[in-house]
A and B are shown apart, each in its own frame.
Chain A
Amino acid sequence: MMPLRQFGSMSTSVLIARDVWKSYDDGTVTVLKGVDLDVAAGETVALCGPSGCGKSTLLHLLGALDDPDRGTVKVNGVEVKTYPDRLHLLRHQVGFVFQLHNLIPDLTLAENCLIPTLAAGIDRRTALARLNELAERTGLSHRLNHRIQKLSGGERQRTALCRALMNRPAILLADEPTGSLDEHTSSMVFELLLDVVASEGATLLMATHDRGLAERCNRLVEMHDGRIEELAYAR
């Protein structure tokens, strides 16, 4: 693969992992084995690798949902482990999109999207303006008051994307965001994801199995057995 564009220097990295180790089940299963990774601001990075190689775990650590056993994780230059207000990271700096949309089925599309603004205490008027902006950009304006059960798979994933971006996070972490969609919808949703991330000026780190999608990112990172084995530039 030929590197077409190298993003960011170490000084502008918004996500940094240094010698990160993580195990589960009382240390019997080691998922991450000394991972080093830097993601620059505005970069779109695909994290590829087989199931169980540690992609999701790395995303969770970089998203401040968990702490490494060893090593350092920094978000926007701040070490997560010692960050006093982790909620602030979750509310304002990091957004998550998962393989399963993880929406609350009994709420409407709009209500699901407004949850992060409720958590962050953002006033309703501002929240609704932001919702309308994102819904328009993702083509969901006509579905705002529909319950999640009434939405298609693609619409649900777009809703999850809207929810993740509601509080204007600088970083979007996506764990197989198109994994549950058919090929056509997957491609459409991914295109939208890249488009929205670019227009928001956000950074994207996405775990995926899909090499085709991964190669549309600025950078592709290979993971295998808890290690980053190769840093390949997708284009």
Chain B
Amino acid sequence: MIFFKLIVTNLYRHRIRSLISVAGIAFSVAAMLTVVSILQGAIGMFSSILSSDSQIIVFERNVSDLFFSSVPAEAVSKMAAWPMVEHANPVLFGVVSSPGHPIITCFGVTPTDARLQKATWVQGDPHSFAGQAGAVVLGSRAAEFLATSFGSTVQIGHASFRVIGILKTANGFEDGGVFMPLGAAQAFFHKEGASSVITVKLRDKDQARAFKHAVDSAFPNLIALEDEEFNRSYSQFRIIKATAWAVGGCGLLLGGLGVANTMIMSVFTRIREIAILRVSGFSHAQIAGVVFGESALVSLVGAASGLIAGAAIILGLKLVPALHGYVEATVHPTVLLAVVLLALLTGALGSLYPAVFAMRVRAVEALRFE
């Protein structure tokens, strides 16, 4: 209890400085949580597009981005014919622009595609999707920002299209996207006879290994990955995740510098007290314990405040109408744990030098100058 009071006392004595340190950690944790969660949410949304009613993704081997992947139509038809396959749907991804909107994701899909079948059709219906030249279906968010409506014509890229349906989906990318019949999309993006990926549903999940082996044998330039594997290994996802942690890490580093500054000042302003603790029989470890205890307390309070602030920011972003569907922040317990542990680690690292300094305080020198 007295040990804890020794820790709290000094923080309370310099409460403004302590609060600034807590705020530093809190802002860092909030920033890290927000960035990591939003990007993980974005990754989750993108992977859910790929894994809609499927377990396996097939794409061109060694491409850095699925937009550059080119899977021949014959691969689709052959795989669809394999006995282990329930269905194989080709999807062509493209990025188009329209006036005022430089990036709109475009999906070239077949009428039987699960994305169309599972979506809520606000206007139009899945049956109207096939066979209409120069027609598109818009996600409801896309219809909103393109300021267009069912039956009207919309300028996308270099061409105009008639809107034959508007659908609503929980996935922000899909809800803000444009759906074209696969053939039309291939023509529009000059990728005739090709798709970006094939999403495959197997009759039996346990046949995934056999399916991947079959793809390797039949199409050496293609790779088949299960959804989980894809999420782990896709370079774009890895880059995004690394960036998120790096940005958050930089934030925590700044917070850690704040803690270091506080702890250094804390030690410098009470060298005499440390000397008295030494004279009273405190060991080096006990002295370091006081310093680390202070930083741990600052970090814990900062992390807790940061988690609350981060959750509030995420909630706030989700409520912004313009971001609806795009910010699907997913806060995994592992992320929470990692953020709190990183905050503690930052605090510990920040107090390393002050703790060593405190341990080296020579009581006799501190007491000589009464």
Contacts and interface: CB of A to CB of B under 8 A. Distances in A.
Q: Do A and B come from one complex?
A: yes
Interface of A: 56, 60, 63, 65-66, 87, 90-92, 96, 98-100, 102-104, 106-107, 111, 114-116, 118-120, 163, 167
B363 A119 contact: no
Nearest to A166: B280
Interface stretch (B4-12, B24-32, B62-70, B224-232): B4-12
Contact of A60 (B6, B10, B12, B364): B364
Interface in B277-295: 277-283, 286
B280 A116 contact: yes
B368 A167 contact: no
A152 B296 CA distance: 35
B311 interface: no
A102 B276 contact: yes
A118 B12 contact: no
A163 B3 CA distance: 16
Contacts of A119: 277, 280-283, 286
B17 to A, nearest CB: 15
Contact of A114 (B2, B276, B279): B2
Interface in B164-220: none
B2 A167 contact: no
Interface string B65-93: 00000000000000000000000000000
Contact of B370 (A60, A91, A100, A118): A100
B280 A163 contact: yes
Contacts of B158: none
B367 A104 contact: no
B14 to A, nearest CB: 11
A167 B281 contact: yes
Given A104-B9, A106-B12, A118-B3, A98 B370 contact: yes
Contact of A107 (B2, B362, B367): B2
B272 interface: yes
Contacts, number: 62
Contacts of A115: 2, 276-277, 280, 282
A163 B282 CA distance: 14
Contacts of A104: 6, 9, 273, 276
Contacts of A96: 279
B127 interface: no
A24 to B, nearest CB: 8
A219 B322 CA distance: 88
A159 B298 CA distance: 31
A120 B9 contact: no
Contacts of A114: 2
Interface string B348-370: 00000000000000111001101
A185 to B, nearest CB: 19
The 6 lowest CB-CB distance pairs between A and B, nearest first, are A91-B281, A119-B281, A106-B9, A66-B364, A65-B364, A116-B280
Given A99-B370, A106-B12, A119-B286, A111 B2 contact: yes
Contacts of A120: 281
A155 B278 CA distance: 23
B276 to A, nearest CB: 5
- Interface residues of B: mostly helix, strand, loop or mixed? helix
A107 B9 contact: yes
Contacts of A99: 370
Nearest to B277: A115
Nearest to B276: A102
A96 B281 CA distance: 11
Nearest to A90: B281
B363 A111 contact: no
A107 B5 contact: yes
Nearest to A111: B2
20 contacts: A60-B364, A63-B279, A65-B279, A65-B364, A66-B364, A90-B278, A96-B279, A100-B370, A104-B273, A106-B12, A115-B2, A115-B280, A115-B282, A116-B280, A116-B281, A118-B3, A119-B280, A119-B281, A119-B283, A167-B281
A98 B276 CA distance: 10
Contacts of A163: 280
B329 to A, nearest CB: 42
Contacts of A103: 276
A107 B13 CA distance: 11
A137 B276 CA distance: 23
Contact of A102 (B13, B272, B283, B364): B272
A40 B9 CA distance: 41
Nearest to B275: A102
Contact of B279 (A56, A90, A106, A107): A90
A111 B367 contact: no
B281 A87 contact: yes
B269 to A, nearest CB: 13
A104 B8 CA distance: 13
Nearest to B363: A65
A130 to B, nearest CB: 14
B368 A56 contact: yes
Contacts of B276: 102-104, 115
Interface in B312-370: 362-364, 367-368, 370
- Of A100, A102, A116, the most chain B CB neighbours within 10 A belong to A102
Contacts of B368: 56
Contacts of B5: 107, 111
- Of B9, B286, B367, the most chain A CB neighbours within 10 A belong to B367
B367 A98 contact: yes
Contacts of B283: 87, 119
Nearest to A116: B280
